[in-house]
Each structure stands twice: as structure tokens, then as C-alpha cells.
Structure 1
Amino acid sequence: MIFWGEERSETRWVPFQEGSSSSSSFQDENDPRELIKLTEESFYEKFDQDELERAAPPYLKWLVGGRLEELEFMRGKMVVFVGSSHDRNNVEQVCQETKGKYASWGGHVGGICTIPQLNFTLVNWFSLGMIDSQPDLDNWLPGKAEPAVFSDRVEQTFLPQMYAAGLTEPPDLVIFASLFWDDAYLNWRRAHYKFDPKLTTPQNGFTFAEINWHRIRVRAAILQLRGLWGQSIPMMFRTRQLRKKDENWSIMKIFQLDQSCRSVAKELGVKLFSWGEKLEGYTKYYDGDMHFELGPTTYLFADMTFFYLQRALTPGCWNGCD
């Protein structure tokens, strides 16, 4: 669960752990009658420090407060987000909150956040989705000069910007996503190529062929990133968040793409970064249809990022540790 607190810096990510729904003070924890007695006695208990002790560490709060001794694992490290405006906004907001230095390559291109206190770097690469045809982009988003095909975009846009900034070493963690731009592109493609309307009515969502196209492209992108930085590079897939508005069955389509990507991630051994789905239901934090302002969601994003980075850096912990 998420404990939001009164201030955004009090946001905490509290896992549901085994054993947290029973108590050793009862004779038989598996006896339904004993568990019912437990619920009767604990129903009016407040959320207290015991629960917060199970939460992931408040990394961003420590960083903002200058408690750097707890964050030495971050010193000189780098995390690269490959995604969209959600990643860009989060990186920019963390940079703002920590008084870091953000250098933008362009809103739909990417940027770098440097946090001087730890010489720590957050990078966001802005993917225009998994589009595989530059002519399609020219028709879909006229006026976009930079390459759109992901493989070309990496080689001709992202890497040169990284090298120019002196970032030539592999990142310590890569978090990848491609959902919302693909939803928009597939919808455009249906109209542009005049697909059979009987097969592509909005309420039916995407066809298997459309989803399979996306699966192939996502798989290729993950393999390309591993080709750049090594097969053992710690990598995650950032799962969905809901839109605030459901127009043209858009929420269902995002679910379809997301579920497909989860299976590709499982096949390739890519872990899930489930920041977005943890926000489902908290519509008050949206700044519009699908984006979030600087606030509690920023702290959740940062704490999750640093939690997984620490695991990636700890020998033997990426695949599970205490």
C-alpha cells in the first residue's frame, strides 16, 4: 500500500509482507476463529510506526534533507529511463526537488539530471513509441525532424547526446516503457490505412495482429539495449498507469498493450517497475489526463527507483535478497 502522509516527503511505499495478516500471539494462526478474533481486536488500530518500519526507505527524503551517509551506494551511479513524458516529468521533478542540474535535449528528445551531492545521474530518453517506419512518422507527426524508428533514434540521437555529456559508461539500471505513444500510433494507422471497420471497432480494442506487432518491436528494443550495455544489465519494464479519462476505449487499449509487454518482459527476464499501477485510484494527483505534478507521486517514483538501484548494485540481490 502507499502511505501518503500530510506532506509529500512523508510518502512511503509499504509492502504487504507474509505474516502481516496474522499474529503469533494466537494459538492457531490458521484457525479462522482465531483470525476473526484478531480482526475484532485490531480493527481500530492506527497506522503506526510498526507499519512504517516495513516500508521501503525514504531515499528521496534523505537526499533532500542531506542525509547522504545512507545513500553512498548512489555515488557516481547512473539510471537511464527509456520512455515518454511520464519518465521525463518524473526525472525533472526529482531534479527540482533535490536542486539538481537538468539539461534538456528537447521535450520530446530527452535530458540529463545531475545531482551534485552524490555525482548521481538520471537520464531520460524520449521514445516516440515502437514505430518502424519513418514515412509513417512524417505523415503522423509532420515536422518531426529527428529519427523516429527506435533503433535509429538510439544510434543517431540518444548515444551522441550521452557521449557529448561525457556519459560513456554503461548505466547501472535501465527502466524501459512504450505504451501511450504506441496506442496513439496504432489508432492513427487504422484510420490512415483504412482498416476494415468491422475488425477495428473501438470497443474491440486492438487486434491480435496489432498487439503482436507491438510485442515484436518491444522485444527488439530490449534486445538492442542489452546489445549496447551487456546481456546482464539490470533492466525493468515500467508498467501502465491509468488515464484519468476513458475516451475511445483508451484505458482498455493501454491494458492490452501493458499485459502483452508483461509477458515479453517475463520471457526475457526483465523485472517490472510498477510505479504507475500503484497510483491507480489516486486520481486527485493527476494534473490532467495521465500526468502527475510534483508531489507524493514524485517521492514514490524516486524511492522505487533508488530501491531497485540498490538491489541492482548489491551482489546477489537483483534476483532476490533479504
Structure 2
Amino acid sequence: MQSHFYKVLAKNLLAATVVGALFLTLQLSSRLTTSETEESAEYPADSTYGNKLISSKNSYECINPYAQPGFIWMETRTTIDNTTWVPFYGGLLDKQFSQLWDTKRVPVDKVVNGTRYFPNSFPPNDLFKNAPTQWFQLLLKYKNAADAASAEEGPGRKAESVKALRELEKKLYWLKNRSLLVVGDSVDGSLVTHLCNSLEAPLEYGSTNASNETSIATCNIKEWKLRITHWQLGCVGHRCRAGETIESIDQKWDRYFIPNSGSVMGQSDPAPDLVIFQLGLWGVNFFGDQQRKYVNGKEIDHSRTLNIRELAVYTRLLRHIISKLRDIYGYHTPILYRTVALKNTEEQDATALTLDSAARYACRELDVEIMDFGWLVRGYYSFYSDDVNIDKGPLSTLWVNMVFWYLFRTQGGVEVRGDLVRTADMDMTTSDAWNMCHDTFMKDLKIRS
């Protein structure tokens, strides 16, 4: 009898232990799940991806907003100052912006003739504050404030204009005596022209060949003694038009660009502070034209992907250009490859896409970072002025903001989630400032490409 009692007691104790262990396991799992959910969804205001920001002079985090998923926000289709790339930080798309009803359960969208529309109430402050600095907007504000200060006659209003001017100077002081070199085609030339014209900085043209496919143009933004130069390489060693003189890239380099290389020096180094280059459209034209002649076609087929031999020729040419830039300005000079903007054609521009993939591979091997402007603006053909060139407007503004984000970085500045957590350090060399985040960004490029 006693033996039976102990057996029953042992069974009950075992059952209770199992139930208790199961209950504790479920509780712990629930807490972990809740903790993980709360931690990933609710970042503090002063954090980046859940990590506390350290804004001391010698600390920084390397996050490129233009390499994050996001979208282009523009105030209007014709605006030239209020356009920005908005990264999707902090899970914001998973929270209040994804709701279809407001707090009163009234749909925030409307249906007209069977089509659903969502009102454009952007920008919500907690999303817009994460966007990178609109440097072009600050430059325009500075120019307008300077014009107002010089025109004001009353002491009170003049003092207000001068005060606004001084506040903008605190944000833009790092531009003083800087130099930017853009090496590419007419797309780059148009973007440089839009920037210079908007700031009333006249372009000066150097003498090159008469075909206009090779050119040199420079503007100086006098308020900052900021020098912006564009070298248009044109047909790199190939005949692109009937009757055109064939000049190899080496001949062009020796005849036009090396004699002008000394005019693009930055303040702290015998080289430009930043070089941005690409030679995509001329490559697309050349390979397309060769294929057209081979098949006796009348038009270039932009939907054709390049073959392995063509890609090998292009990457060899790209390596050659990078080598020439480094021969002039040194390996330490920051260089970016700008991805190619697609042509505005009825056919899909598969040629440019294939070419860009090869360029990513080459840049990865040559330790050159990527400026993904071409990728961000793909599909915005209604903002083009012709079949290849981007018109003055939101996309040209985006280009300026991207360029100045990189230029700010060459001066030691660090921006994280829209906050300037590290100001420019005028005592740093350009190469030291660039290298603070270079390895991190190159590692990201190798993962993504």
C-alpha cells in the first residue's frame, strides 16, 4: 500500500515538473520574442541601427545613405532645390506609414472611377529627418542671402541678412578652396553645367579638338573659391562619327588633359579633392555600332547584352583610365565610378546594364568605390532633356547632393541618418579623411556586387 502511494506521488511530481518546465520555456520564449521585436522596431532617436552614436572627434560610423534602400522625394517635377534621397531607416515603412485607415477608421485613400489614390502627405518629420543633407539647397540659400545682404540698405534688415549668411557659412565653410574633377561624357557635362549656372558661375572652356566630342570646361564658385572641372573624353580610341579624326585615349591624355591637370588642384594636396569618372555611353555607342555593322543593321540594338570579349575590352579600357588618373594625381586621391544612366529609348538598355556590371567588377578589383547615381535615376526618362542627358531639375539636384556628400567626406565629415555627427577637419589630409570609411564601403561593394 505504501509502495503504491509513493509511486503515485512520484508520477504527480514528474508531471508537475514537466508542466512547470514547459511553462517557464514558453514564458522565456515569449519574452525573447517581445524583446527582439521591440529592439528591432524601436530605435532610440540618437541611434543608428540600434547602436548608440558616438559623436566625438575621433569616432564615426560608416553608413552611405545612397547605398541604402529608399526613394527619390521631390517637391515638384521642376524644382531645383528641394529634392532628396530618402533611405528606409528604422523600419518606418512597417509602422504608421503603411496604414490604410486613420485613427477614426476612415480610409486615407480614395477611389475614383475604380482607381485607388493615396494622398501625398509626405514628408513626415520622423522619416524626412533621416534624409542626407541637401547641400545644393544650402548653396542656393547662401547665394540668395549674400545677394540680399548686399542689396539691403536699412540697418535692421541688413543685419538679419548678415546673420542668416553667417549661419550658412558655419555649415559650408569646408568648401573653401576645394576642387572637384568630373571625367565622363555629356551627361556629366550637363550636370556640371546645371550646377554652375544655378550658382551663376560662368563656365570657361579649354581648347580641344574641333569635333566637340572631347572638351574641357571649368567653373569657379567665387564665394568659396570652389573649382569644378569637367573632362569629356569622348570616343576613346574609336571613330564615332564620319569624318572624325581618330585619337587614342593616350593621345588625348597627352594633348589635352595633362596640360590642364595642374588647374584642378585642391587646397591641401597637389590633386583634386575628389575625382568622379565613367565612360559608359561612349562604350555603349561603340559596341552597338560595331554590332550594327557586323549584322548589316540600320539601327543600334540597345536590348543586346554585351558578350564576354566586349566586356573584357571595356574593363581593360576602364582600368587604363583609372591608371592614368592615378599616374597624375597619385593612388591616394579619392576616385568614384559613377554608374551609367540608361538611354531614353524604346528598347531596354541592356547593353548599359551589362557594361555597368563589368565596371562594378573592375572597380571592386581596383579598390575604387561606386557612386550609384545611374542606378537611382533609372526609369526617370521624363526628366531627360534628350535621349541621354538629364535636364535641370530634381535629378540634377540629386546629383549635386550626392557629389557634395562625397566631397564632405573627403574633408573628414561624417553624416549618419541625416545627422552631421562629425564636422569637417581642415587639418586632416584628404586621403586620411577618405580612408576612414573606405575599407568599410569597399567591403559592402564586394558583398553587393
TM-score bracket relative to the smaller structure: 0.7 to 0.9
Segments of structure 2 that go 5 or more residues without pairing to the other structure are 1-70, 109-120, 143-167, 413-432, 442-449
Counterpart selection for 1:4 from 38, 59, 74: 74
Match of 1:112 among 218, 221, 224: 218
Partner residue in 2 for 1:278: 376
In 2, the alpha carbon distance for the partners of 1:183 and 1:142 equals 18
Deviations 1:201-221 (A, max 9, x none): 876532211111111111121
CA distance in 1, matches of 2:187, 2:356: 15
Task: For residue 8 of structure 1, give the secondary structure of its aligned residue in structure 2.
Answer: coil
TM-score, scaled to structure 1: 0.82
In structure 1, the partner of 2:328 is 228
CA–CA separation in structure 2 for the residues paired with 1:242 and 1:13 = 19
For residue 160 of structure 1, the aligned residue among 246, 259, 262 is 259
Which amino acid in structure 2 is aligned with residue 260 of structure 1?
A: A
Other-structure match for 1:89: 190
- Closer/same/farther in 2, CA of residues 220 and 52 from structure 1, 3 Å limit: same
Aligned-partner Cα distance in 2 for 1:122–1:201: 35
The alpha-carbon distance between structure 1 residues 210 and 167, as it changes in their structure 2 partners (threshold 3 A), is same
**Secondary structure at the residue paired with 1:214?**
helix
Report how far residue 282 of structure 1 moved. 2.1
> Which deviates further from its counterpart, 58-67 or 46-55?
46-55
Would you say the 8 A contact 1:173–1:234 is kept in 2? yes
SS in 2 for 1:9: coil
Establish whether residue 127 from structure 1 lines up as the match of residue 233 from structure 2: yes
Going from structure 1 to structure 2, the CA distance change for 1:88 and 1:233 (only over 3 Å counts) comes to same
In structure 2, C-alpha distance between the alignment counterparts of 1:110 and 1:77, rounded to whole Å: 18
Q: Which residues of 2 match residues 134-145 of structure 1 at below 5 A?
A: 136-137=238-239, 140-144=240-244
Question: Which deviations, in whole Å up to 9, do the C-alpha atoms of 1:241-293 show, x marking residues without a partner?
Answer: 1222135x6x0111111111011111112111111221123222111212122
| TM-score, normalised by the number of residues in structure 2 | 0.60
CA contact (8 A) 2:336 2:369 kept: yes
- SS of the residue 2:409 aligns to: helix
**2:292–2:301: 8 Å Cα contact kept in structure 1?**
no
The equivalent residue for 1:218 is: 318
SS in 1 for 2:123: coil
Query: Residue 76 of structure 1 contacts residue 121 of structure 1 at CA under 8 Å; is this kept in 2?
Result: yes
User: Which structure has the larger Rg over C-alpha atoms?
Assistant: 2
Is the 1:3–1:12 contact (alpha carbons within 8 Å) kept by the matching residues of 2? yes
Deviation at 1:142, TM superposition (A): 4.5
Match of 2:367 in 1: 269
Q: What is the CA distance between 1:149 and its match in structure 2?
A: 2.1
1:313 to partner: Cα distance: 2.0
| Structure 1 CA distance for aligned equivalents of residues 391 and 139 of structure 2 | 20
C-alpha change, 1:113 and 1:201, in structure 2 (3 Å) is closer
Rounded to whole Å, the distance in 1 between the matches of 2:242 and 2:380 is: 35
Structure 1 residues 47 and 262: CA distance shift in structure 2, 3 A:
same
CA deviations over 1:137-172 (Å, ceiling 9, x no partner): 3xx434545x73223322220121344x57583011
**CA drift at 1:196:** 10
Matches of 1:283 and 1:225 in 2, distance apart?
32
Q: How has the CA–CA distance of structure 1 residues 202 and 112 changed in structure 2, closer, same or farther, with 3 Å as cutoff? A: closer
**Is the contact made by 1:90 and 1:298 (CA closer than 8 Å) also made in structure 2?**
yes
Q: Distance in 2 between matches of 1:261 and 1:166?
A: 25
Given residue 72 of structure 2, which amino acid in structure 1 is its aligned partner? I
Say if 1:312 and 1:318, in contact at 8 Å, map to a contact too: no
- SS of equivalent to 1:88: helix
